[in-house]
Amino acid sequence: MNIVVVGSLNMDLVSHVPRLPKAGETITSTSFQTIPGGKGANQAVAAARLGANVHMIGKVGCDTYGDMLLESLADSLVNTGGIGREGTTGMALINVSGRGENNIVLVPGANGMMGKADIDRHIRLLEGCDVLLVQLEIPLAVVEYAVKLAHDRGKLVVLNPAPAQSLSPSFLRHVDTVTPNETELELLSGMPVETLSEIEAAAEKLLGLGPKRIVVTMGEKGALIVNADGATHIPALKVQAVDTTAAGDSFTAAFTVGMAKGMTDEEAGTFASRVAAIAVTRHGAQPSLPTLAEVDALQAE
C-alpha cells in the first residue's frame, strides 16, 4: 500500500484571540502555538498513521520551521526523501476566536517554488506507488504535471481540490477520485449546493467530466459519494467537535488509504468518517490525526 503525496508543507502560527480583530485594530492574543501543517503534509501524516507506506514530494525552507516540519513527518513515519529545501518555509498565520471563528493568511514560501523538475527528480516514487494524492496549495501546473505522469502509468489519482479554484476538464479526466467540500463543489460545478439533491446534481455534473467518483465532504451532515452506480450517503458520527481544522484532510487521506486497501467506495467512506470523527475531537491539525489502532478501537465500541 504505497501512497505518494505531492503537496504543501506549512508551519501554522496560531493565535487564540477573544474575537477576530476589525480592520486597523490591535488586540491581545490569549495564547500562541506553532503547529506543523499544510494540506499535503497533513494528508501524508494521516495516511501514514493509518498504516500506509507514504512518500511525500514537496518543499520546505532552509530554516528552523523547515527542520520542524521534516521532523514531524519523520515522527509519523512519512518518508521525506522527496522533500527539497529552498527559500523560506510556507506559513499559515491563523487567528482563532473564542467562538471558533478564524481568519487565515497563507504565505506560500517554498511551496510556491515547486516546479516540474521537483517531480522529475523523484519520478521513481511515482512509478512505485499505488496511489497519488494531491491538493492545490502548490502551483497548479506542478499538480497537473504530477497527475498526468501518474495517470499515464496507470496509478490511481486522488484530488482534494483545496483551496478551491477552477480546473480544466482535461485535468479532471486524469483523476480517479475528487474530494471537494460543498464550497469547492459549487465552484467546480457552477451549480448551487444548498440541499442534498443539489449537491448530488452538482457532483453528477463533475462526474461527467471524467473522474470515477466524487466524494463530497459535508461536515456534520456526513459525506456523499457519487459514482457510476448512483449516490451513497455516509452519515457523520455524532461526536463533540472541538477543532475541525483537519476534518477534510483526515477524511481524504483515510478514503485514499481505504481505496489502496481495496475497500468498496462505501467501506472507504465509512472508514474515513470514523477517522474524521476522531480528528475533530482534538486540537490542532497533525496532532489530532488518529492511528489505525485508535480507529479500530472506535469501530469496536
The answer to whether 249 is a known catalytic residue is yes
279 is in an annotated binding site: yes
Q: What is d(CA 63, CA 61) in angstroms, rounded to the nearest whole number?
A: 5
**Range with top average pLDDT, 99-113, 211-225, 231-245:** 211-225
pLDDT value at residue 251: 95
pLDDT band per the 50, 70, 90 thresholds, residue 300 = low
Burial class (CB in 10 A: 0-12, 13-18, 19+), 48: buried
Q: What is d(CA 34, CA 18) in angstroms, rounded to the nearest whole number?
A: 19
Burial class (CB in 10 A: 0-12, 13-18, 19+), 149: buried
Q: 2-9+38-90+110-300 in CATH: which number?
A: 3.40.1190.20
Catalytic one among 120, 152, 176, 249? 249
Listed by start position, the domains of the chain span 2-9+38-90+110-300
Reported pTM: 0.94
The strand ranges marked E within 42-145 are 53-60, 79-85, 90-97, 102-107, 131-134
172 has pLDDT over 70: yes
Model confidence over 114-171: pLDDT tens digits? 999 999 999 999 999 999 999 999 999 999 999 999 999 999 999 999 998 999 999 9
Question: 264 CB contacts (<8 Å, ≥6 apart)?
Answer: none
240 has pLDDT over 90: no
Nearest residue to 132 via CA among 162, 161, 156: 156
pLDDT band per the 50, 70, 90 thresholds, residue 288 = confident
Backbone angles phi, psi at 65, to 5 degrees: -60, -40
pLDDT value at residue 285: 79
- In single-letter form, the type of residue at position 55 comes to H
248 is in an annotated binding site: yes
205 is in an annotated binding site: no
Lowest mean pLDDT of 63-72, 185-194, 238-247, 251-260, name the range: 238-247
pLDDT value at residue 301: 61
pLDDT value at residue 282: 85
262 has pLDDT over 90: yes
Model confidence over 9-57: pLDDT tens digits? 999 999 999 999 999 999 999 999 999 999 999 999 999 999 999 999 9
- What is the average per-residue pLDDT within 253-259? 96
176 is in an annotated binding site: no
Cell numbers 516546479: residue: 115
24 is in an annotated binding site: no
Secondary structure string (H, E, C) spanning 155-218: CEEEECCCCCCCCCHHHHCCCCEECCEHHHHHHHHCCCCCCHHHHHHHHHHHHCCCCCEEEEEC
